[in-house]
Amino acid sequence: MTPVRPSALQLRIDGASLDRRIQLMSHTGPTRLAYSEEDVRGRAVAIDMMREVGLRVSIDAAGNIVGRRPGHEQLPSLACGSHLDTVRNGGNYDGILGVMAAIECVATLQEAGHKTVHPIEVIVFANEEGQRFGALCGSRAMVGALGADDLAHADETGRTLAEAIQSVGGNPAQLPAAVRKTGDIAVFVELHIEQGGTLEQARVPIGIVKGISGISYTDVRIFGSANHSGTTAMELRKDALAGAAELVLCVQRAALDKRCQVATVGQLVVVPNSTNIIPGNVTLTIEVRDLDRKKTMATMKHLHERAQEIALRSGVQIEFSARTPIDSVPCSSLVRKTIEQSCVDLGFEFQTLPSGAGHDAQMMAKLAPIGMIFVPSMGGISHSPREFTSSEDCARGAQVLLESILRLDEALPELMGAAE
C-alpha cells in the first residue's frame, strides 16, 4: 500500500519547535565530551525527545542511540541523525542540528499522521568527535570497523573505551551486535552545519555535499634530553620542543604549498614543561585532510622525511606512528539528486561543495548510499562557543531533510534501480 505522499508544503517544519530543541540541548553545556556526565545528560534529553515523538528507542552495543519508526512495509530503513558529543568548549550546532532536525522531522510526520512506506531510523552516534579514543567510534562500530584493540584503548584517566561505552548504556562485550548488515539501511542522510564560510559568503542557504574529506593522523614522539636551561650551552642541547616547532611549521608549509587540502598540529604535550628545563620530550599529533587519499599519504611521507632531517640537525630522535586513516567518500549521486530536487521544489537556492570536516556519514557510506545537507555557519566559525546558525537556516535545512526523506520513501525502489 503506497500512501499518497503529502506535498512538502503540507508538512512544514516548525522552526520554533526545532529552535527550542537546539536551545534545550545547549543547556547541557558547551562541552559534552563523549562518555562524560554532560554527554550522558545530553543523551537523556535526546532520548526523551525521541520517545515524545513516538520513536521506539534502544541503545546498541556500541552506545549509539537508535530511534525507530515503523513503516507500512518491512523494508530497509531511511536513516538520518548525527552526533551530540562536542569538542572541548565547542558550539551548539555541530552534530546537534542533525539530531534535533531528524527528531523534528519525525514530529512533523507524527502530527500529520503520515506513515512512510519505509521504516525511519534516527541515529545518535556515540563519540563522533574523538576527543578521547579516536573519532567516529559509534559509526565505526555500526559498520564493523571498531575492534577489540580499540576497546582496550585507555584515555588520560586510564578509563578504557569499553568502560566508557558501558557508561552510556552500551555493551562492549556484545560489540558485533552493533554491526548493521548491508541492506538494513536503504539510505543515510545527515543534516549538518557547514563549519566553514562558503555558503555564507555565497549567500546560499543550502549546501549539497559532493564528498567528505579523508583524514590521516600520525602520532609523533620527539625525544631530546632535559637539562638545566641556565647552564647548558646552546650547541650542546637536544631540545625536543625546538625540534617540534620546526616540524609544526613543516606541517603548515605542506598545506600552504598545496600538497593537501589542510594540515594541522592541534595537540602538543611538552615534558617536563618547566621554564628552567630544556624540554626533554614532546608528543604531538599531525592531522592531514584531503578528498584525495593519495595526497594525504604523500604529504605524510613528505613530513616524515622532513622530520628525519630535523632529527639529524638538532640531535633529537623523532618517531612517527600512523593511526588508521578515515577514508574520503563521495556522496551518492542518487541522494544528491534527491536533495537537489527537494531544494527546487521548496524554492531554496543551493550549491554543491566538499566537506572539509569529517562526519559519521563517511562511515555509513560503507553500509548504504549517503547524502549530506549543509546550512551556513555564521563567520564560518565552528568548534567554538561562537558557532552559530540562524533559526531560519536551521529550519530550511530541516525542511530539505524532511522533503528528501519523503521523496526517497516514495521513489527509492526505482531510484535504487537507476542508482550508480
Q: How far is the CB of 127 from Mn ion (least distance, A)?
A: 11
Does residue 39 bind ligand HGY (CB under 6 A)? no
Q: How far is the CB of 85 from Mn ion (least distance, A)?
A: 9
Site string for Mn ion, 90-109 (x = CB under 5 A): ----xx--------------
- The minimum distance between CB 357 and ligand HGY, in angstroms, equals 4
> Which grid coordinates belong to 383?
568548534
- Please choose, from the candidates 275, 278, 291, 283, the residue with its C-alpha nearest in 3D space to the C-alpha of residue 231: 278
Which CB, 76 or 98, lies closer to ligand HGY?
Answer: 98
Examine residue 90 and tell whether it contacts ligand HGY (CB under 6 A). Answer: no
Query: With contact defined as beta carbons under 8 Å apart, do 99 and 22 qualify?
Result: no
Report the candidate in 32, 62, 28, 29 with the shortest Cα–Cα distance to residue 48: 28
Contacts of 376 (CB under 8 A, 6+ apart): 193, 194, 199, 200, 204, 205, 207, 389, 390, 393
Kindly determine how many residues on this chain lie close enough to bind ligand HGY according to the rule CB under 6 A: 5
Query: Is residue 360 close enough to count as binding Mn ion by CB under 5 A?
Result: no
Residues 131 to 160: which contact ligand HGY by CB under 6 A? 135
Cell matching residue 213? 574529506
The amino acid present at 214, given as its one-letter code, is: G
Quick one: what does residue 194 bind among ligand HGY, Mn ion, none, with the CB cut-off 5 to 8 Å set by partner type? none
- 37-45, 52-60, 69-77, 128-136 -> range binding ligand HGY (CB under 6 A): 128-136
Compare residues 106 and 135 and give the one whose CB is closer to ligand HGY: 135
Closest approach of ligand HGY to the CB of residue 325, in Å: 13
Phi and psi at 321, nearest 5°, equal -135, 115
* Cβ at position 180, least distance to Mn ion in Å: 20
Q: Measured between alpha carbons, how far is 65 from 68 in angstroms, rounded to an integer? A: 10
358 binds ligand HGY (CB under 6 A): yes
Q: Which amino acid is at 395?
A: A
> What letter would DSSP give residue 59?
E
Under a CB-based contact definition with an 8 Å cutoff, are residues 323 and 217 in contact?
Answer: yes
Q: Which stretch binds ligand HGY (CB under 6 A): 23-31, 127-135, 171-179, 412-420?
A: 127-135
Contact between residue 314 and residue 239 where contact means Cβ atoms under 8 Å apart:
yes
Q: Is 128 in the site for ligand HGY (CB under 6 A)?
A: yes
Question: What residue ranges bind ligand HGY (CB under 6 A)?
Answer: 128-129, 135, 357-358
